[in-house]
């Protein structure tokens, strides 16, 4: 398993130059395990959350039909988690080192990932966004509502804040960053992921809200939503600027984690996650 921790685009450019041998191995391996004759196949590997060898399920869902979306596939048949989510659990143990009694907030609740975490952490708090007219902290049909830009959580109340593929759906995502900082305890850690253009110095705004109206700056892009069958609009594709925005809020240590593994089947090139320590 290859893991690199990088703090800027400049560091990434140097990393790419020095990592060509590993990139060649990654490409060869991913080509070798891909079945060119079938739209559905399996890849053998260790599922970290299942703690066993499994046959990960691969297909062309969420792709252009030609290139596999490895990040969202490689489904573990035991846990139901894809490549990205399996990797997030392993990084959580490696980077956050949570204790069973730690208070952990995650910006999802009606998902397999939440269910797995709930069996391990008794003080886990999960939520979904149920609409702009719902009060933060309100529970509807056993689902807690939270707005990431206006959390009901008390200041300095959680040890760890987890958010995977949520930031891009917030029109004013910059308001969510100080909320992360506010609710984390001193020394607390944020672990997250979001659509990221690894070669881009700046964030790319795809849509925005003006006077209550959605303004599309590019072709609308919708992602799956566990509480909305119609999907949810993507407002932003992030670049390295996002790390600087986290630092400007007050986080002491902010970096991107690049990870790839044949053994754990973290494929599709280097997967990218983000850490910010208060």
The conformation of residue 196, written as its DSSP 8-state character, comes to B
- The β-bridge partners of 128 are 145
SS3 label, residue 112: helix
SS3 label, residue 146: coil
pLDDT at 227 > cutoff 70: no
The pLDDT assigned to 226 comes to 65
The conformation of residue 114, written as its DSSP 8-state character, comes to H
Q: Rounded to 5 degrees, what are φ and ψ at 274?
A: -135, 140
pLDDT confidence of 64, banded at 50, 70, 90? confident
pLDDT confidence of 228, banded at 50, 70, 90? low
**Please, which residues have CB within 8 angstroms of residue 56's CB and are 6 or more apart in sequence?**
42, 43, 44, 45, 47, 74, 75, 76, 77, 83, 265
For the stretch 143-194, pLDDT in tens is 999 999 999 999 999 999 999 998 999 999 999 999 999 999 999 999 999 9
The pLDDT assigned to 225 comes to 64
Within 10 Å of residue 51's Cβ, how many Cβ atoms? 9
Q: What is the CATH number of the domain that holds 225?
A: 3.40.50.150
pLDDT confidence of 277, banded at 50, 70, 90? very high
The pLDDT assigned to 132 comes to 87
How far is the C-alpha of 160 from the C-alpha of 60, rounded, in Å?
A: 34
Domain containing 216: what range? 2-277
Q: What percent of the chain has pLDDT over 70?
A: 98
pLDDT confidence of 63, banded at 50, 70, 90? confident
Where is pLDDT greater, at 210 or 83?
A: 83
For the stretch 189-208, pLDDT in tens is 999 999 999 999 999 999 98
**Domains held by the chain: number:** 1
R_g over Cα of the chain: 19
pLDDT at 83 > cutoff 80: yes
Rounded to an integer, the average pLDDT of 72-96 is 96
For the stretch 89-118, pLDDT in tens is 999 999 999 999 999 999 999 999 999 999
């Amino acid at each position: 398993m290859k893991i690199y921790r990088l703090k800027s685009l400049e560091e990434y450019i140097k990393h790419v130059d020095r990592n060509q041998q590993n990139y060649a191995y990654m490409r060869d391996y991913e080509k070798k395990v891909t079945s060119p004759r079938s739209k559905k196949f399996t890849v053998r590997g260790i599922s970290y959350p299942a703690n066993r060898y499994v046959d990960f399920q691969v297909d062309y869902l969420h792709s252009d039909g030609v290139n596999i979306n490895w990040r969202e596939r490689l489904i573990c048949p035991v846990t139901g988690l894809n490549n990205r989510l399996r990797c997030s659990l392993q990084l959580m143990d490696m980077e956050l080192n949570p204790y069973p009694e730690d208070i952990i907030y995650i910006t999802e609740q009606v998902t397999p990932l939440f269910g797995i975490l709930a069996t391990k952490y008794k003080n886990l708090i999960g939520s979904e966004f149920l609409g702009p007219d719902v009060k933060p902290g309100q529970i509807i049909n056993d689902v807690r509502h939270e707005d990431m830009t206006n959390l009901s959580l008390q200041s300095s109340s959680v040890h760890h804040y987890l958010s995977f593929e949520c930031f891009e759906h917030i029109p004013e995502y910059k308001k969510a960053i100080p909320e992360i900082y506010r609710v984390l305890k001193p020394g607390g850690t944020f672990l997250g992921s979001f659509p990221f253009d690894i070669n881009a110095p700046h964030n790319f705004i795809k849509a925005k809200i003006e006077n209550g109206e959605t303004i599309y700056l590019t072709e609308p892009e919708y992602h799956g939503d566990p509480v909305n069958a119609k999907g949810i609009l993507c407002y932003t594709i992030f670049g390295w600027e996002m790390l600087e925005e986290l630092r400007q809020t007050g986080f002491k240590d902010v970096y991107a984690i690049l990870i790839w593994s044949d053994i754990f089947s973290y494929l599709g090139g280097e997967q990218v996650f983000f850490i910010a320590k208060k």
